[in-house]
Structure 1
Amino acid sequence: MKRVLITGANRGLGLELTRQALERGDLVFATCRRPESATDLHALAGHYPDRLTLVALDVTDEASIRAAHAAVKAATGSLDLLINNAGVYPGAGPEDPENQRLGQFTAEVALQVLRVNAVGPLLVAQAFLDLLRAGTKPRILSLSSGQGSITWKAAGDPYHYSASKATLNMYMRALAAEIGQYGVLSMLVDPGWVRTGMGGTAAAQDPAVAAKGILRLAEQLHDEENGSFVTWKNEFVPW
């Protein structure tokens, strides 16, 4: 049984990752901003009352991160896997910021996307590093995107989302170089274009398939792959 923390676990790919981790027997800490209204997570908790804990966490709020860490630490002395899944794609969700096209840019929206998609995951990893260092073969998987590849970038829109994922890539690559000495490995994963509220119904990727691949990656990650950027199929993504 692994001890797993998943951010943004109340919907989409985060919810599917939570479901599959529970199905394979893991102890899961599922985080989201408003767990009291996370209907699907509460339904899962009804099936796995002893292995699923809902935790309030806003990755853009440092006080919230500290409180979440305290809640998890009160329940377990270690974590084996942190999945940085929480993120926004401007305009894709009812509460997500819009206006990331040329002629509509504002600093406020740009910084909001960067805080959620890049800075937040770094702060979460930093906060939970003590529990990860106490874990068994601890791993940090951060969900990036092919949109964050400078090599692959061939269109303008989306500016903020692409920039945020490229920033996440650098943060987690730098983190990998530092935390590898503690036995904690960090990997960036492109889950593909997934059929979720963020990805939309036209997306080709089944979230269940993507989630299965992501969880498999955590098991297969070796020391020499620390800091790598791959697809959910474990195929190299150019930076």
Structure 2
Amino acid sequence: MRAFITGANRGLGLELTRQYLERGDQVFAASRHPAEATELQQLHQQYADRLVLLPLDVTNDASIAAAVQAVSAVTDALDVLINNAGVYPHAGSSDAHQRLGQLTHNDAIEAMQVNAVGPLLVSQALLPLLRAGHKGRILSISSGQGSLTWKATGDPYHYSASKAALNMYMRSLAAEIGNQGLISVLVDPGWMRTGMGGDAATQDPADSARGIIRLAEQLHAEENGSFVTWQGQPVPW
């Protein structure tokens, strides 16, 4: 298995990287500043033969192109892409930047660029490698916050809207790539104890990662374009 993971330096992305490596798979772990990612560097020392660390800013076209070139220098195919990189503007702070009265243009644009547009452009760039792989799959980490059906609060405005936009982008992508033997699905990983989710969260990232890897293994063509939890249960749009 050859997996490409964005946002691999912490939280769910780091756990996905670790578990794929423990299984014996090859991992391309992308993050903005891999040289500063202490835990990723430790994994690289342990799995130097199967872990490739890549710098990647999903909001930068040149950075995406360079990452694709770096992967292509090592392998001619990918089997799994996990679009995990994401931001939650002002996560963990006590301010109210995602609440009505405190909303700003810059926060909105940052959330949309990283959480929605970035994953689409990374997917687009890696499609040739995924087509060459074994049952190429794209799993994009969404959120229950991106469900229009479930939305019952105002805050967080930007994060919720960006995940809803991600859902539409990847649903659109699924409609195009399904007849090419590829699968695109959206995954709600649960409320995890990470830097983004905070200490009050109920979900261990290791459990979510385990479920997401299992989900990637078991995906069938008829599930293309679906929105599911890390346990494979449907999430309403």
Instruction: Please give the range of the TM-score, normalised by the shorter of the 2 chains.
Output: over 0.9
Tell me, yes or no, if the aligned pair for 1:118 and 1:165 is still in contact at 8 Å. Answer: yes
Offset of residue 106 of structure 1 = 1.7
User: Residue 76 of structure 1 aligns with which residue?
Assistant: 75
Aligned-residue Cα RMSD (Å) equals 1.2
User: Residue 3 of structure 2 aligns with which residue?
Assistant: 4
Offset of residue 182 of structure 1 = 1.1
3-state DSSP of counterpart to 1:117: helix
Distance 1:178 1:44, change over 3 A: same
Letter in 1 for 2:32: R
Offset of residue 98 of structure 1 = 7.3
2:215 to 213, 217, 228: 217
Structure 1 segments unaligned to the other structure (5+ residues): none
User: Residue 64 of structure 2 aligns with which residue?
Assistant: 65
3-state DSSP of counterpart to 2:70: helix
Tell me, yes or no, if the aligned pair for 1:188 and 1:229 is still in contact at 8 Å. Answer: yes
Identity %: 70
Tell me, yes or no, if the aligned pair for 2:192 and 2:204 is still in contact at 8 Å. Answer: yes
Q: Tell me the distance in 2 between the aligned counterparts of 1:200 and 1:107.
A: 25
Offset of residue 99 of structure 1 = 1.9
CA deviation digits over 1:100-149, x for unaligned, max 9? 21111122210111000000000000000000000001100000000000
Offset of residue 93 of structure 1 = 6.2
How many residues get paired? Answer: 236
Offset of residue 202 of structure 1 = 0.8
User: Residue 56 of structure 1 aligns with which residue?
Assistant: 55
Structure 1 segment 64-213 matched on structure 2, within 5 A: 64-92=63-91, 99-213=97-211
Offset of residue 92 of structure 1 = 1.4
Q: Tell me the distance in 1 between the aligned counterparts of 2:5 and 2:161.
A: 23
TM-score (norm 2): 0.98
3-state DSSP of counterpart to 1:75: coil
TM-score (norm 1): 0.97
3-state DSSP of counterpart to 1:128: helix
